[in-house]
Amino acid sequence: MVTDIAAAAECYFVQFPGHLASGILLASLASSARQATVGRLSIMAGRSSQVGNMIPEPGHQVGGFGTMKIAFLVTRADPVGGAQIHVRDLALAVRSKGHLPTVITSGTGAFIDDLRAHQAPVIVLKHLSAPISAIQDLRAFREVRATLRKLGPDLVATHSSKAGILGRLAGRTLGIPVVFTAHGWAFTPGIAPSRAAVYRGIERLAAPLSSKIITVSEFDRQLALKAGITSGDRLVTVYNGIPDVPLDRRADPGRNPVRLVMVARFEAQKDHPTLLHALAGLRDEPWELDLIGDGPLRGDMELLAKNLEIDTRVRFLGQRRDVDQCLAQAQISLLVSNWEGFPLTVLEAMRAGLPVVASAVAGIGEAVRDQESGYLIPRGDAALVRERIGRLLMSAPLRIEMGARGRAIWEQHFTLDEMVNRTLSVYREVIGPTSRRVDQDTRLASRLPA
């Protein structure tokens, strides 16, 4: 299998000369994985200390109803986004159910601080980073592999693109099953076609290394099938879920004057310009806007708000750790985007009881029901964004009704318990037959000469 990946990577390198870094990365890592696979023969021949890391601890049952030792791998701890929040909540939840999670990441910040505050095991790597760099990524692969070999988990759960590639390669060479969770695909509609083609190719190469791939929306599952990433039996949809908040963190959407809120980084993925242009046409209505998040385009958006003469009504709040409190003070939630996966900010707004106006991209329509719990807007349609926000500004009863319906939908489909239970079901399905295969490898090792 690894030899096939190496050959495919070299072919991919030739076909896409404009993306040399991606080809070099795949070829280098596949070569390392091939060497590591050969090394497993030595492990099985008598290096029991390494084999022992692949065997369940005494009294530790995998498959069935036993405790699972799970390594969660996510590329960066900063900035904190949907993948980090997902991993944090999932790791703490599975631990509360008696499992043994360890989070592996790089960087610093609130993500690691939160985990350590809850006494959850965290391993911080030195070389793992988001930008593609063949030499750096080869070092990161070796670091990830060494960490997993020492940790000896029953399963590796990878999140985010770089961790997804490296974790799958490392897991395969160690005989540890891997589940990759795709928090949106890098070839989703809205991504530049040339870039999308590159990432489709990378994901096709990496998919065979996954026992299962979890998509966080049915849209993303169907997108992967259409792109030929893998077969349908290896793809499963598990919607994102989030924990509830106290009653004092619920919003009052009927209150006036109306405060609008959008939680989003200032980067190309988010479409702040369309939102600001839409609001410029609502100067005569009473509203204020809170923009929560940071990013490279923040300065440009501050200048745009000034040029549109709405800067006195827009607050740029930066990165916040009290988003739930900010939502509780709002009456309408917004998410205007160019592309998405299945954004947690929409679920957070629904949990708070807010109506949502959002772009109709990716899986958002599986959470927000148009005309029922909010409004869905075609990408880039500033006129319709303006009309829908205006409609909500003028009707407190409509805001209350839509907010209540959104809260009910969240309670039914998008709670943390629902996500955790479905995710653990996938993990158990993967670990069951794989654990028997590892046991067979161990018995074979005992029959080989030392």
Angle at 34 between CA 31 and CA 37, to 5 degrees: 155
pLDDT computed for residue 79 by the predictor: 86
Across the range 207-228, mean pLDDT stands at 97
Token digits for 29? 């890592």
* Alpha-carbon radius of gyration of the chain: 23
pLDDT of 447 > 70? The answer is no
Question: What is the reported pLDDT for 400?
Answer: 98
pLDDT at 164 over 50: yes
Domains, the chain, with CATH or none = 2-242+419-447 (3.40.50.2000), 247-407 (3.40.50.2000)
User: Given a cut of 50, is residue 109 above it in pLDDT?
Assistant: yes
Q: How many helices (H) and strands (E) does the chain have?
A: 16, 13
- Number of C-beta neighbours around residue 246 at 10 A: 8
3-state helix, strand, coil in the chain (%, to 5): 55, 15, 30
> At 25, is the pLDDT very low, low, confident or very high (cuts 50, 70, 90)?
low
pLDDT category, 425, cuts 50, 70, 90?
very high
pTM for the model:
0.82
What value, to the nearest 5°, has the Cα angle with vertex 349 and ends 237 and 96?
60
Q: What are 59-80's pLDDT values in tens digits?
A: 354 444 589 999 999 999 998 8
Is the Cβ–Cβ distance between 82 and 240 less than 8 Å? yes
pLDDT of residue 155: 98
Q: What is the mean pLDDT of residues 93-102?
A: 97
* Helix, coil or strand: residue 381: coil
% of the chain residues with pLDDT over 90: 78
Residue with tokens 């916040």: 320
- Residue range 256-271: average pLDDT? 97
> Quick check: 105 pLDDT over 90?
yes
Query: Is 360:287 a contact under the CB 8 Å cutoff?
Result: no
Phi-psi region of 129 (alpha: psi -120 to 50; beta: other; left: phi over 0): beta
On whether the CB atoms of residues 112 and 123 are closer than 8 A, the answer is: no
Identify the DSSP state of 309: T
Phi first, then psi: what are they for 301, rounded to 5°?
-75, -35
Which one is predicted more confidently, 325 or 30?
325
Mean pLDDT (whole number) for 187-192: 94
Confidence tier at 190 by pLDDT (50, 70, 90): very high
Residue 262 in contact with residue 341, Cβ under 8 Å?
A: no
Mean per-residue pLDDT for 85-109?
97
pLDDT(44) > 70:
no
Mean pLDDT of the region 103-110:
95
pLDDT tens by residue, 353-362: 999 999 999 9
Q: What is the mean pLDDT of the chain?
A: 86
Q: What are the residues whose beta carbons fall under 8 Å from the beta carbon of 116, sequence distance 6 or more? A: 122
Give Cα separations from 31 to 17, 56, 97, 144, 248 (angstroms).
Answer: 20, 29, 39, 15, 55
Q: Average pLDDT, stretch 237-250?
A: 97
